[in-house]
Copies of this chain bind each other. A is one copy, B any other.
Amino acid sequence: MSLAPFVERLKRLARLTEQDERALHQLPFAKRHIDKGRDAIIKGEAPSYLYVILDGWAGRYNLRPNGSRRMTGYLLPGDFCGIHAVCHAPMDHSITALTNCSLAKIELANFNALATDSPAISRALWQAKLIDEATLRTWLVNSTDALRTIAHLLCELEARLIPDAMDNERKLELPITQEQLGDALGITPVHVNRIMRQLRERGLATVHQGALHIPDLAALRKEASFDPSYLHPTHASKV
């Protein structure tokens, strides 16, 4: 497996030159497997690597004093983390594997060299950060009640996993448990279950054997007041 998902991601974020692309593809990296439930980076570390998710799902989380975890974001294939190290800042949260994951570890020194040389790459990093931030904001804004909160997260995942969605009926892999969803939303797993039932009964979303089925994406998005624009930077950045 190569860094292709990573390069593709950056290409979506900014206009890379051919040279940028070539240099990215030639970045040396190490592959690392992380078992479901294990942490890739722990809060307080200042990793000297950039981690790219090649396969599987990971998540950012913090522990609360009572021991429960609160996810603050999902990392899907092509996503990366560890940028804190751009500033040599220690991580303010941990990264855990929600499923078995394979990651690419890229030496930050190598990557930073590219980023400082290439305006497009450094712009792509900014875009990525802005999207992360916007995503956090939507989590705050759209968590009025549990149903909307869950519906919104499902919409987010759908939009991120199938970026070029056009049609209206969708099916996608949802390899996480209801408890993990609850962690991400600050909701009890029991309550997640009840809401999932409501979504099912209302024909908005059903989960069967690890697959999420959205019979009517438009309806779900309306229910969640989901607007995907925050995930897709306008390529105004072509400039």
Tally of chain A residues near chain B (CB < 8 A)? 43
Tally of this chain's copies:
2
Partner pick for A141 among B72, B90, B126, B234, CB 8 A cutoff: B72
Residue interface mask A97-128, B partner, CB < 8 A = 1: 00000000000000000001001000100110
Tell me which residues across on chain B come within 8 A of A123, comparing CB atoms: 86-87
Residue interface mask A132-149, B partner, CB < 8 A = 1: 111011011111100000
Partner pick for A143 among B86, B186, B229, B230, CB 8 A cutoff: B186
Chain A, 134-176, CB within 8 A of any chain B CB:
134, 136-137, 139-144
Partner pick for A225 among B64, B127, B141, B144, CB 8 A cutoff: B64
Q: Please determine whether A89 and B137 come into contact, CB atoms closer than 8 angstroms.
A: no
The reply on A11 being an interface residue by CB < 8 A is no
Chain A, 60-114, CB within 8 A of any chain B CB:
60, 62, 64-65, 70, 72, 84, 86-90, 92-93
The reply on A33 being an interface residue by CB < 8 A is no
Q: Please determine whether B130 and A132 come into contact, CB atoms closer than 8 angstroms.
A: no
Q: Please determine whether B87 and A233 come into contact, CB atoms closer than 8 angstroms.
A: yes
Q: A45 to chain B: closest CB distance in Å?
A: 12
Bound Cα distance from A134 to B84, whole angstroms: 11
The reply on A236 being an interface residue by CB < 8 A is yes
